Structure 1
Amino acid sequence: MQHKILIVEDDVSLCNGIVLALKNDDYLFSSAHTLAEAEKLCKENTFQLIILDINLPDGNGVEFLRQIKSRFAVSVIMLTANDMEIDIVTGLESGADDYITKPFSLMVLRARVNTQLKKVKTQNKFLIDDFSFDFETMNYSKGNKSIELSKIEQKLLWLLLSNKGNTISRQVLLDKVWNDGAEYVDENSLSVSIKRLRDKLEDNSSKPKYIKTIYGIGYSWVVK
């Protein structure tokens, strides 16, 4: 599985240096030099890791961190020139998974990144009741029965499970699942895909136990 990594850093030289230091066939990099660019990329892609500078030209990375963590399951390593204890505490309390102050060793950053991505790998398998969902091997089952899922259904299921207990808006699901560059996606496509997913997973798809509709907002995988 190729891991998608977003680097949000306004220092272009440092950004390029991080890419070179982390270069790996298993990593696919995207770069943003402003929060606006980062927000656009997050709408269009699903990242496993974000390396986020705290000080950016158009705002504070901490607020962006809070927004991302409230919407998606993604690991975040914060970068900052500040080494004050309050900045570290604020970053961690806002959801950062790790925190590195500048200047830093690229070897240390590489080790921290590898640690976070190992955690992501283990998070790609979910065992819930009789379900076994392994997104690494793409094997899905309920009890002893294998479940065949389309690519769209796999994306939907992963987003719901990665954010279980939280409501994901219809627009976010449309942006994340149908991110092939199409200018317009019929919202009915989401409703149809959710129904097909329920038909495959739920005992009674008309009375879903797991995938709940939050009317007027979106969908949620209910935490048991």
Structure 2
Amino acid sequence: MPHFLLVEDDLPLARGVALALAGEGREVTVCASAQQARKALEKPVDLVILDVGLPDGNGLELCREIRLFSRAPVIFLTANDTEADEVAGFRAGGDDYIVKPFRVGVLRARVDAMLRRAGGEEVLVLDGFRLDFAHAAFSKDGQPITLSAPEQRLLRALVCERGRTVRRETLIDRVWTDGMEYVDENALSVTVRRLRKKLGEGYIHTVYGVGYRWGDRDGG
């Protein structure tokens, strides 16, 4: 039975989210503070939904603590809506970032996507590609493709968010995960260009001034 931890001090909101996510064999534990969450985390959880502003601490710091012992997906659910806030969430170890107010259907879809990825469904077959991220094995129409580590992380970030534009800043944070404080934005452009050359044109679309989006050759 999947076990979710929801850390949210707005109790009416927390009850609504818990109700929306419960069912289908899922259990949701609600905590209103970082202290309660630390106690709940003494037992394994499959996914954490975490507010940033908590009455007794900061959700970013709590996420960093979680990353010391768990790889469970963490989704930030917060009113902090600036680009810097979102980047800080990913740097703290978050896997997704949803800004309040939000649509419950979108949250459920994001949760389902996180569970699929965390459950080991690392092989994607789409647009003629077979992408096995767990074993770093990639092919197009049966022909192997060799990708560097940054190219693999970039490809994964794009295909897992296919249909959505991923900001350049978000991609930089997800691709270069070695703790570097500064990465030249040109490094992302170079990596995109190399990946396009290996995959073929028409899959990675540029959204000028924003970032990139994965789509098939027809732009879907």
TM-score of the pair, normalised by structure 1: 0.53
Q: 2:88 aligns with which of 87, 90, 102?
A: 90
Q: Which residue is 1:132 aligned to?
A: none
How big is the alpha-carbon RMSD for the aligned residues of Structure 1 and Structure 2? Answer: 1.7
CA deviations on 1:56-82 (whole Å, 9 max, x unpaired) are 000110000001012112110001111
Q: Secondary structure at the match of 2:113?
A: helix
Q: Equivalents in 1 of 2:96, 2:28: separation in Å?
A: 19
User: Greater shift after overlay, 21-30 or 59-68?
Assistant: 21-30
Q: Secondary structure at the match of 1:78?
A: strand
- The residue identity in structure 2 corresponding to 1:23 is A
Q: Which residue is 1:25 aligned to?
A: 24
Q: Which residue is 2:67 aligned to?
A: 69
1:40 offset after TM fit, Å?
0.5
Q: Which residue is 1:48 aligned to?
A: 46
Q: Equivalents in 2 of 1:27, 1:119: separation in Å?
A: 17
CA deviations on 1:112-141 (whole Å, 9 max, x unpaired) are 0000111122179xx99xxxxxxxxxxxxx
Q: Secondary structure at the match of 1:92?
A: helix
- The residue identity in structure 2 corresponding to 1:42 is L
Q: How does 1:125-136 map to 2 (within 5 A)?
A: none
Q: Secondary structure at the match of 1:5?
A: strand
Q: Equivalents in 2 of 1:105, 1:85: separation in Å?
A: 20
Q: Which residue is 2:15 aligned to?
A: 16
Provide the aligned length of Structure 1 versus Structure 2.
Answer: 124
Runs (4+) of structure 1 exceeding 6 A deviation are none
Q: Which residue is 2:100 aligned to?
A: 102
Q: Percent identity?
A: 41
- The residue identity in structure 1 corresponding to 2:84 is I
CA deviations on 1:72-108 (whole Å, 9 max, x unpaired) are 1211000111111111000001110000000000110
Q: Which residue is 1:119 aligned to?
A: 117
Q: How does 1:165-180 map to 2 (within 5 A)?
A: none
Alpha-carbon distance change, 72 to 123 in structure 1, aligned in 2, over 3 angstroms: farther
Q: Secondary structure at the match of 1:67?
A: helix
Q: Equivalents in 1 of 2:110, 2:98: separation in Å?
A: 9
Q: How does 1:152-171 map to 2 (within 5 A)?
A: none
Residue segments in structure 2 that go unaligned for 5+ positions in a row: 123-133, 136-220
Q: Equivalents in 2 of 1:102, 1:7: separation in Å?
A: 15
- The residue identity in structure 1 corresponding to 2:23 is N
- The residue identity in structure 2 corresponding to 1:7 is L
Q: Equivalents in 1 of 2:70, 2:15: separation in Å?
A: 26
Residue segments in structure 1 that go unaligned for 5+ positions in a row: 129-224
Q: Equivalents in 1 of 2:100, 2:31: separation in Å?
A: 18
- The residue identity in structure 2 corresponding to 1:10 is D
TM-score of the pair, normalised by structure 2: 0.54
Q: Secondary structure at the match of 2:80?
A: coil
- The residue identity in structure 2 corresponding to 1:101 is V
Q: Secondary structure at the match of 2:6?
A: strand
1:25 offset after TM fit, Å?
2.5
- The residue identity in structure 2 corresponding to 1:112 is R
Q: Secondary structure at the match of 1:100?
A: strand
Q: Equivalents in 2 of 1:16, 1:123: separation in Å?
A: 30
- The residue identity in structure 1 corresponding to 2:83 is E
